[in-house]
Amino acid sequence: MGLNVGIVGLPNVGKSTIFSALTSAPAEAANYPFCTIEPNVGVVHVPDERLDKLTELVNPEKTVPAIVEFVDIAGLVKGASKGEGLGNQFLGHIRQVGAIAHVVRCFEDNDIIHVAGKIDPISDVETINIELALADLETVTKRLQGIDRLIKSQDKVVSTKGKITKPILEKLTKSLGDGLPARSMGLDAEEVEAIQDLHLITLKPLMYVCNVDEANIKNENEHVKRVREIAAKENAGVITICGKIESEIAALESKEEKEDFLKEIGIEESGLSKMIKAGYKLLGMCTYFTAGVKEVRAWTFPKGAKAPQAAGVIHSDFERGFIKAEIYHCTDRFELITEAKVKEAGKFRMEGKEYEVKDGDVIHFKFNV
């Protein structure tokens, strides 16, 4: 699974506008379908107040934030699973990402064409979900057609996997055939593992991004409320964002100007900031920090990683020659201010290979190669 978030949706819902603001990278945005064909890719910094606080306390020569990659994928249309609107190509791009941000148009504007000729978020969401489900159904059907041959295999490992997989594929066939995403089926970890090699699109973690107008940035309109109802059934998150406002914020040069702009319109945090954080979390990523006078840096690691694996994020030698890790949590540093005080308070620990790294840990690794 890629460590990136694919931005999907119908044409002209604001995907490229949001992507451009998100990454400050120019993505082609025009008032007609399929203005984006090849996916645009942008790497963005993950906003993290903890990193900012550590920087203030340590005063390093430089600060390096965590990053996450966003991919702007061209608009899907009805029939995409059958190749309509270059659908096969676009679906292939979605298969490559680790998580999905589904942008839904939740604003009225007669000057911006809607591919269906009307604003109906429920219909828009259903169109995308059905096309993705049908694409997955084709994948599942192909596997199911050959499953009996695998079950009869003389190789016990192959045969056992076939027996485990068959009932899962049968359940998927019914659900996907009804246009429902695989993530809504409540598959347990073992079932997901059994079909991991199918790379199902609708099994990827997803959040809905409701693109609203300026008038509804603080007060949810009926369109957003309807999207939330769908998201609740899928156990998916919802972010509300105004692409137009975010474009204006992105055009400002300094951090101070952006903060003043947000205060002026009465918003504490930009929609893009929330979207980046949500995308990072959606990928199952956590952050630990290294903090010294040379550098304070945020490092990305998968939730549940043990200390050696987390060390390997910095360099493979750190994992290979791991000895121990000196650790305290960033919240202890914020409370006690200095590392010396953290040690005096008994919050500074030595951990070995079996330690499961926590989000927000500050770590110094000891290794020998």
Q: What is the pLDDT of residues 168-222, one digit of tens each?
A: 999 999 999 998 899 888 899 999 999 999 999 999 999 999 999 999 988 889 9
* CA of residue 324 relative to chain centroid, distance: 31
On whether both 43 and 123 belong to a single domain, the answer is yes
CATH of the domain at 27: 3.40.50.300
Determine, yes or no, domain membership for 248: yes
The per-residue pLDDT for range 44-77, each reduced to its tens digit, is: 999 999 999 999 999 999 999 999 999 888 766 5
Q: Which of 22-36, 130-144, 227-241 has the lowest mean pLDDT?
A: 22-36
The one-character DSSP state at 146 is: T
Residue 229 belongs to what domain range? Answer: 4-49+65-133+197-282
pLDDT, residue 219, reads: 86
Please identify, among 282, 314, 342, the residue that sits at the C-terminal boundary of a domain. Answer: 282
Greatest mean pLDDT among 26-35, 218-227, 352-361:
352-361
Greatest mean pLDDT among 131-135, 168-172, 268-272:
168-172
Q: What is the Cα–Cα distance from 365 to 369, expressed in whole angstroms?
A: 13
Determine, yes or no, domain membership for 170: no
Determine, yes or no, domain membership for 166: no
pLDDT of 241 over the 90 cut: yes
Determine, yes or no, domain membership for 33: yes
pLDDT, residue 24, reads: 72
- pTM to 2 decimal places: 0.86
Determine, yes or no, domain membership for 321: yes
Q: One-letter amino acid identity for 58?
A: V
The per-residue pLDDT for range 18-35, each reduced to its tens digit, is: 988 888 744 443 333 334
Please identify, among 247, 282, 317, the residue that sits at the C-terminal boundary of a domain. Answer: 282
On whether both 276 and 314 belong to a single domain, the answer is no
**Residue 252, helix vs strand vs coil:** coil
On whether both 241 and 318 belong to a single domain, the answer is no
On whether both 23 and 101 belong to a single domain, the answer is yes
On whether both 202 and 124 belong to a single domain, the answer is yes
On whether both 9 and 110 belong to a single domain, the answer is yes
On whether both 261 and 115 belong to a single domain, the answer is yes
Q: How many domains does the chain have?
A: 2
Determine, yes or no, domain membership for 100: yes
Determine, yes or no, domain membership for 238: yes
pLDDT, residue 311, reads: 98
On whether both 201 and 327 belong to a single domain, the answer is no
pLDDT, residue 76, reads: 64
The one-character DSSP state at 110 is: T
On whether both 261 and 112 belong to a single domain, the answer is yes
pLDDT, residue 115, reads: 64
Mean pLDDT score, 136-158: 94
Q: How buried is 188 (Cβ within 10 angstroms: 0-12 exposed, 13-18 middle, 19+ buried)?
A: exposed
**Residue 349, helix vs strand vs coil:** strand
On whether both 79 and 201 belong to a single domain, the answer is yes
- Residue with the bigger pLDDT between 274 and 30: it is 274
On whether both 312 and 216 belong to a single domain, the answer is no
CATH of the domain at 352: 3.10.20.30
Mean pLDDT, the chain, integer: 88
On whether both 209 and 340 belong to a single domain, the answer is no
Among residues 309, 320, 322, 315, the alpha carbon closest in space to that of 350 is found at 322
Determine, yes or no, domain membership for 141: no
